[in-house]
Amino acid sequence: MKVIPTTPGGCRRRRPVILAAAIAVFIAAPLTIVTAAGGVAPEFAAPEFAVTFSRAIREQPFSGRVYLFFSRQTQEPRRGPNWFHPEPFLSLDVTDWQPGEELRLSPRTDGVLTFPRDFSDIRLRGYHVQAVARFNPHSRQVGTGPGNGYSDVERVSADDSPLSLTIGRIIRDQPFGETEWTKLLRVRSALLSDFYGRDVFLQGAVVLPAGYRDHPQRKYPTIFTVPGFGGTHHRARRQNPVLEQNERGVEFFRIMLDPSCPLGHHVFADSANNGPVGEALVTEFLRAFDRQFRSIPEARARFLTGHSSGGWSTLWLQVAYPDVFGGVWSTAPDPVDFRDFQRINLYRPDENMYVGPQGERRPIAQHNGRPVLSYDDFAWMEHVLGPGGQLHSFEAVFSPRGPDGTPLRLWDRETGIIDTDVARSWEPYDLRLQLERRWDGLASRLQGKLHVFMGSEDTFLLDGATRLLKESLKNLHSDAVVEIHPGKDHSTLMTSQLRDRIRREMTDAFLKSFPEWPMLGDQSGQ
């Protein structure tokens, strides 16, 4: 078995790989650690863990990333890290790790990545620990990703002997449990299967209209919802129908799409790294849906909505396919103008993801106007986890594919310095920029279709980009509705009043095009 050493920036060190036996010596003596700031950290003995994986769950050697997750809580540490309250963990890339072969891991193992980056103040005694092997490279999740292996939970004691952890369990996929009112639509995509060289499916949860069975000839409009980062179609599972609240009794199909992909959230945008997911949605998934369900297969009866990454996804779909969808109601979308990418101007020379103009650490999240997460810490946490995180998702969608087959990095993970060439390559996904450049051909096709809502105190600093989009659309003389709701953050924006308003406006837009509903289909039998 070989270990792949990595530099703090995540690149392989330019020296031969070394055998695990060469790095498996238990560090019993205290170490003096020089911190990144140049100071001397306290001396401490790094605990060591002897990790194996059972032949009962995997007979083949494993090449990939191995993790140790730590937690003070009693729940399984593998389910972390929590974005706002992350606990320590570490990871190591291995090659040809054999079943039953012992892998010695500690915070001082050569090539190991640790979170936090400076592990010198972490005392692991008393923590619960769990080992995870990322057996499934197609899942964006680590500790809960189907197909990955994990160990039982053990407690780190004062004993200096290595703690044994056996990865002897496999995370099982959770099948979608259909109900009377919620059906799974799973469509093999020829486009994505060709791209990946394996079978790839698009899927969504279809919630049936309340009157679907009582009116076997009636056709219905559809609301497509894209969840935010981490969300899947499982969220839409219902035991009861949706009872629409409108005077005309208009009912909708409601489809929650699954935006998951190996590199995170693909936002249904065609990209060099995730493949033609947008094209697969509109040419394969929608056609399968219209064939299997009594939908109205017209743009005027298809509406989009989503929050956060789902808000960006749906806004993108409406702009990219203006003749396929009849309107978008996007809430708290991810950055829609890359001149304000969570307060960072990606196009400005010498811009840094970690440090602001006055040398201050950049926040990535706030609460009540005060920073609660820093960009550098959050980016490093994702770096130790590996592909599939929120920031990596951005690069997976927006960046070209690099020579090694992975997305080009926008910034150096060690220093925060932005690669201006990569930043310019992101322009095709800058929604504000694309609207401006293509407005002559889009203006009439997007008339009455754009609705964007954002809180003025967005938790993830997304309001600045939306303000710029609002200004741009005003200058283009667009009839787009872009609202900044005072005092609302990423979650409090979604009040019951806003939800009701969005449904009401979708209903009005549908009836404007189909004033004869609900007779549509009842008489014709179509």
pLDDT for position 518: 84
The arrangement of strands across the sheet holding 182-188 comes to 182-188, 201-207, 253-257, 222-226, 302-307, 328-331, 450-455, 481-485
| 4 — pLDDT class (breaks 50, 70, 90) | low
266 and 277 in contact (C-beta within 8 Å)? yes
Instruction: Give residues with Cβ within 8 angstroms of 315, minimum separation 6.
Output: 304, 328, 330, 333, 336, 431, 450, 452
Q: What are the phi and psi torsion angles at 15 (to 5°)? A: -155, 160
Task: Specify burial of residue 151 (Cβ count, 10 A radius: 0-12, 13-18, 19+).
Answer: buried
| Partners of 13 in the β-ladder | none
> Mean per-residue pLDDT for 341-357?
97
Query: To which H or E segment does residue 3 belong?
Result: strand 2-4
CB 343 within 8 Å of CB 461? yes
The string of pLDDT tens digits covering residues 36-86 is 333 333 444 578 999 999 999 999 999 999 999 999 987 899 999 999 999
Q: What is the pLDDT of residues 437-451, one digit of tens each?
A: 999 999 999 999 999
Closest CA to 503 of 250, 207, 212, 227: 250
For residue 25, the tally of other CB atoms under 10 A from its CB is 12
What amino acid occupies position 416?
Answer: G
Average of per-residue pLDDT across 430-436: 98
pLDDT category of residue 248 using cuts at 50, 70 and 90: confident
Q: What is the pLDDT of residue 246?
A: 84
Interval 18-30 mean pLDDT: 27
Instruction: Please count the residues of the chain.
Output: 526
Among 66, 56, 123, smallest CA distance to 90 is for 66
Q: Region 145-150: what's the mean pLDDT?
A: 98
Distance (Å, whole) CA 234 – CA 191:
24
Confidence of residue 247 (pLDDT cuts 50, 70, 90): confident
The residue among 389, 385, 391 whose CA lies nearest residue 67 is: 385
Exposed/middle/buried for residue 71 (C-beta within 10 Å: 0-12, 13-18, 19+): buried
Residue 368's beta-bridge partner residues? none
Strand (E) or helix (H) holding 311: helix 309-320
**What one-character-per-residue DSSP string does 505-524 give?**
HHHHHHHHH-TTTTSTTTTT
| pLDDT tier, 7 (very low <50, low <70, confident <90, very high otherwise) | very low
Parallel, antiparallel or unpaired: strands 302-307 and 222-226 = parallel
Which residues lie closer than 8 Å to 37 by C-beta, 6 or more apart?
Answer: none
Peptide bond between residue 47 and the one before it cis (omega within 30 degrees of 0):
no
| Per-residue b or e along 329-363, where b marks 16 or more CB atoms closer than 10 Å to that residue's CB | bbbbbbbbbbbbbbbbebbeeebbbbbeeeeeebb
Spatial CA neighbour of 113 closest among 375, 353, 386, 354:
386
Determine phi and psi for 510, rounding to 5 degrees.
Answer: -65, -50
Cβ atoms 152, 144 nearer than 8 A: no
In this structure, the dihedral spanned by the alpha carbons of residues 278, 279, 284 and 290, taken in order and rounded to 10 degrees, is 70
Strands (DSSP E) contained in 280-377 are 302-307, 328-331, 363-367, 370-374
Tell which residue, 409, 438, 405, has the closest CA to residue 423: 409
Q: Residues 57, 170: contact at Cβ < 8 Å?
A: yes
CA–CA separation, 331 and 483 (whole Å): 10
Averaged pLDDT, 308-315: 98
Band (pLDDT 50/70/90 cuts) for residue 521 is: low
Kindly report the pTM of this predicted structure.
0.90
Q: What is the mean pLDDT of residues 431-442?
A: 98
* SS3 readout for 179-229: CCCEEEEEEECHHHHHHHCCCCEEEEEEECECCCCCCCCCCECEEEEECCC
Query: Which of 148, 131, 156, 134 lies closest to 51 in space, CA to CA?
Result: 131
